[in-house]
Amino acid sequence: MLGRVNHIALVVPNLAEAAAKYRSVLGAAVTAPDALPEHGVSVVFVTLENTKVELLEPLGSDSPIAAFLAKNPAGGMHHICYEVEDIIAARDSLVAAGGRVLGDGQPKIGAHGKPVLFLHPKDFFGTLIELEQV
């Protein structure tokens, strides 16, 4: 079921500062910041040879990552996004195996304009998993 690692998402308290550090100290290619109010985040991507690191800062008053940052004020690792070919088939297979999909179980259109789902971290040893149909 799991295809490529599409990205690893890290929450940071200050996106401009984090982007500058990844660029200047770690020597990585970093995209321009993008505000995604419909997702409650601002984002930059650190573009690596084989995958991406997504740096996320909360945007707006009901950001889905605000609670994470309140619990981890310095920031931290937030989720891994895997690519799948068929997100409905993946969801149905996971649910049949006892897995829980967050929200109403229907794929949403994610930050890349593709259908995404999130799986309950309690079902996967404390790691939040995003599936993205590509």
Active site residues: 130
Q: Which is nearer to a copy of itself, 33 or 38 (CB)?
A: 33
Distance CA 98, CA 28 (A): 40
Q: Environment class of residue 28 by beta-carbon count within 10 Å: exposed (0-12), middle (13-18) or buried (19+)?
A: middle
CA distances from 108 to 2, 14, 39, 57 (A): 18, 26, 10, 20
Q: Which is nearer to a copy of itself, 5 or 38 (CB)?
A: 5
Minimum CB–partner distance for residue 94 and a copy of itself (Å): 7
Residues with Cβ < 8 Å from 72, sequence gap 6 or more?
A: 11
Minimum CB–partner distance for residue 52 and a copy of itself (Å): 9
Q: Which is nearer to a copy of itself, 38 or 88 (CB)?
A: 88
| Contact residues for a copy of itself, defined by CB under 8 A | 1-5, 8, 10-13, 18, 21, 24-28, 46, 48-51, 53, 55, 72, 74-80, 82, 93-94, 97, 99, 121-122, 124-127
Minimum CB–partner distance for residue 48 and a copy of itself (Å): 6
Please identify which residue in the block is written with the tokens 């068929």: 86
